[in-house]
């Protein structure tokens, strides 16, 4: 059944496919370990809701940086249009004079560089584990079915979800020393990982908002000068000399 779910979700967008793959893994783990399927599905639904909340918070946090990137990339184009509205033949200067063509080529190159730079920064901020803590949650599900630790790990690995062996071993060791049920500790650790993913996402988004100032200063502002201010000055100087002649 788990493989059928994964196959059915193969054509979906990556985020939706990730959720269905997690469901398929939980179904496989529950079936192999003998854990109650309804309880496992409730647990995985809670896990997926937490993961979706992390992703939504990251999208909201990145909305500002993305809007800033789009706005500043449009400044040079706005400058060209503004110059034309003011009555200066900036378009003629840009496309039909040697100096204007040089400004156009360099300005466009800087705009393309800024666009790619901005995109790389935003993608880096949005890059994260799509399912933090899911492997530990699956180990907990397997153990609720009575599987031993080694058996639970092998079941989860067979479902296609690699298990952090060292982290799991630490949790189980703490469970043995403290006399706390291992399943509860595993689920608490999975929830903690989701909290950490949420905080890390916010931090990456805040960092991206600051880093987006680099393409602005290095690429967009010089492009604004080349595409908006320089043609305007050239048009003014040219019209002045034409009037004197």
For the cut 70, the answer to whether the pLDDT of residue 245 exceeds it is: no
Could you report the per-residue pLDDT of 153-186, keeping only the tens digit for each? 888 888 877 777 777 778 878 887 877 788 888 8
Angstrom CA distances, 166 to 74, 172, 187, stand at 49, 10, 16
166-171-176 Cα angle (round to 5):
120
Could you report the per-residue pLDDT of 198-225, keeping only the tens digit for each? 788 778 777 877 787 788 788 888 888 8
pTM: 0.66
Could you report the per-residue pLDDT of 98-115, keeping only the tens digit for each? 888 898 899 889 888 988
For the cut 70, the answer to whether the pLDDT of residue 2 exceeds it is: no
Which has the higher per-residue pLDDT, 99 or 62?
99
pLDDT of residue 109: 92
Q: Specify the DSSP class assigned to residue 148.
A: -
Local structure of 197: helix, strand or coil = helix
Which has the higher per-residue pLDDT, 2 or 83?
83
Q: How far apart are CA 167 and CA 25, in angstroms?
A: 20
Which has the higher per-residue pLDDT, 58 or 210?
210
Mean pLDDT for the stretch of residues 28-53:
76
pLDDT class for 20, splitting at 50, 70, 90? confident
pLDDT of residue 1: 62
Contacts of 172 (CB under 8 A, 6+ apart): 149, 182, 185
Average pLDDT, the chain: 78
Residue 157 CA, distance from chain mean position = 26
pLDDT class for 65, splitting at 50, 70, 90? low
68 burial via Cβ count (<10 Å: 0-12, 13-18, 19+): middle
Domain ranges of the chain: 2-244
21 burial via Cβ count (<10 Å: 0-12, 13-18, 19+): buried
**In contact, 179 and 192? CB cutoff 8 Å:** no
Which has the higher per-residue pLDDT, 21 or 117?
117
Share of the chain above pLDDT 70, in %: 86
182-186-192 Cα angle (round to 5):
145
For the cut 80, the answer to whether the pLDDT of residue 52 exceeds it is: no
């Amino acid at each position: 059944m788990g493989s059928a779910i994964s196959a059915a979700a193969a054509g979906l967008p990556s985020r939706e496919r990730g959720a269905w793959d997690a469901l398929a893994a939980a179904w496989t783990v529950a079936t192999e370990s003998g854990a109650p399927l309804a309880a496992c599905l409730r647990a995985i639904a809670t896990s997926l809701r937490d993961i979706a909340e992390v992703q939504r918070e990251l999208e909201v946090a990145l909305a500002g940086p993305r809007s800033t990137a789009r706005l500043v990339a449009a400044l040079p184009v706005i400058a060209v249009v503004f110059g034309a509205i003011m009555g200066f033949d900036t378009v003629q200067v840009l496309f039909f004079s040697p100096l204007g063509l040089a400004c156009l080529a360099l300005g466009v190159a800087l705009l393309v560089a800024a666009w790619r730079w901005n995109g790389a920064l935003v993608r880096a901020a949005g890059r994260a584990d799509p399912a933090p803590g899911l492997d530990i949650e699956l180990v907990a599900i397997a153990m609720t079915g009575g599987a031993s630790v080694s058996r639970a790990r092998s079941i989860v690995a067979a479902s296609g979800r690699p298990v952090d062996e060292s982290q799991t071993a630490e949790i189980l060791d703490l469970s043995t020393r403290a006399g706390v049920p291992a399943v509860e500790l595993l689920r608490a650790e999975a929830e903690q990982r989701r909290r950490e993913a949420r905080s890390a996402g916010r931090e990456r988004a805040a960092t991206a908002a600051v880093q987006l100032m680099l393409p602005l200063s290095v690429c967009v502002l010089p492009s604004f000068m080349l595409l908006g201010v320089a043609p305007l000055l050239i048009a003014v100087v040219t019209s002045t000399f034409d009037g004197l002649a």
